[in-house]
A and B are shown apart, each in its own frame.
Chain A
Amino acid sequence: MIMDHYNYWIVVVLMMIGFYIVIAHGNLIKKIVGLTIFQTSVFIFYISMAKVDGGTAPILAEGIVQYSNPLPHVLILTAIVVGIATTALALALTVRIKEAYGSIEEEEIQQQDNLN
């Protein structure tokens, strides 16, 4: 009974690892990696909800009665590609920050801001 929810626990643990990286590390690239982990945990959450015991991939074929739910697959499929596009935008911003401040460490950037 308790083990029925193990998929959610994996998601929560991954999500918290990502969250920890985002709040505890000062390096912007590392923060982006943390966000990616967080994002993937949400993907796994959705896909695990779509899973049906004894079901198969939602491609119609003869002799199969049980399919997994296709709707979360669609949502996550597009979310992954949108995710990489927005990650690229974040990386581009980081590169610009490096240009402007000469650093991608949060503390050094804040120090420079305080000086001005």
Chain B
Amino acid sequence: MGTALAIVWMKDLLSVIMLSGIYGLLSASFFVAMDAVDVAFTEAAVGAGISTLLMLVAITMTGHKEHHSRHKPFLALAVVMVTGGLLIYGTFDMPSYGSSMAPIHMQVAPRYLNDSMQEIGVPNIVTSVLASYRGFDTFGEVVVIFTAGIGVLALLSAVYRSEEITKIHLLNDSMHEQHLILRIVSKMLIPFILLFALYVQFHGDFGPGGGFQAGVIFAAAIILYIMVFGMSTARRVINQPFIKLLAATGVLLYGSVGVFSLFSGKNFLDYNALSANPIAGQHLGILLVELGVGITVASIMVIIFFSFSGSHVPPKRQQKSTGENNAS
């Protein structure tokens, strides 16, 4: 909470964003304390990692000083106080924290907890609910992520200016050669991060993990590579059209599992259609669907980062804040 309060007072957007990274990490630890390990995993990678980086890249393009606003803060404060007071008044009707008799634990949750082992055969209930019981919802989420990625591409690809970009690249590259320790350390770390992402991806049935977490971690490794070795090297290593193709392939993989089960005479995304043995069918279905999710999430995050840092940037600011990126 202190972090969030500090965000209100800070005028320098750079420190605001650093604080929001800390805030993300703290809320991840909240989630661990409340037994939501899968969620904590995702929040640590997203809140403290990728969102901080994206905001940093964005402020390199927009400037990082906030002007003094001439709004009256008292009106806003009054609105906030009234709303907060009403919300707190509302909480008195809520079930108390940690109560096992709360209505939320009475509906579908017992079925997931008691029957999912027989029906799905996957110890991690979060994975079985995510990919099997509520597979259709997850499909929707993946499509939303895909659409957001396309949106970012559409908004930012118009900003390209080829001459300036090459100029920035030269500048970037000279700067990147100076960070020798950083380069060597990240060169050693990146394979392990990628390996860890794959572990999270394929071990998601048994421990915390799954496509969403793996996708974000994988993307974080690639983004680290882009930051340390510069855009032009990264462009040579990572084929842009290929990544765009991958993003679409992930969604397609997910959708085609659903359509396959439709054609086999079952419901959309009913994995029992995939194999004669229902448990094996569920396992295969979850594996394929999580793979689709992982591929889409990872490639969309990389695409978003590429289109942000590839667009037009005033050279001076770029250098300064990339240095900050590295330091973080």
Chain B residues within an 8 Å CB radius of A47: 30-31, 34, 36, 39
Known contacts A21-B7, A77-B38, A81-B216; A107/B69 CB under 8 A: yes
Chain B residues within an 8 Å CB radius of A34: 7
Pairwise interchain contact B149-A24, C-beta atoms closer than 8 A:
no
Pairwise interchain contact A17-B5, C-beta atoms closer than 8 A:
yes
Known contacts A81-B141, A85-B145; A73/B216 CB under 8 A: no
Pairwise interchain contact B55-A30, C-beta atoms closer than 8 A:
no
Distance to closest chain A CB from B106 (angstroms)? 10
Pairwise interchain contact B13-A27, C-beta atoms closer than 8 A:
yes
- Residue among A51, A76, A88, A107 with most chain B CB within 10 A: A88
The segment from B92-100, B187-195, B233-241, B251-259 that touches chain A is B92-100
Pairwise interchain contact A29-B109, C-beta atoms closer than 8 A:
no
Question: What 10 new A-B contacts, CB under 8 Å, besides A58-B125, A71-B129, A81-B297?
Answer: A24-B69, A33-B20, A47-B36, A52-B98, A55-B35, A58-B124, A72-B36, A74-B126, A80-B212, A85-B304
B contact set with A: CB distance below 8 Å: 1, 4-5, 7-8, 13, 16-17, 20, 23-24, 27, 30-31, 34-39, 42-43, 46-47, 50-51, 54-55, 58-59, 61-63, 66-67, 69-71, 73, 76-77, 79-81, 83-84, 87-88, 91-92, 94-100, 102, 104-105, 108-109, 112-113, 116-117, 123-126, 129-130, 134, 137-138, 141, 144-145, 148-149, 151-152, 155-156, 159, 206-208, 210, 212-213, 215-216, 297, 300-301, 304, 307-308, 311-312
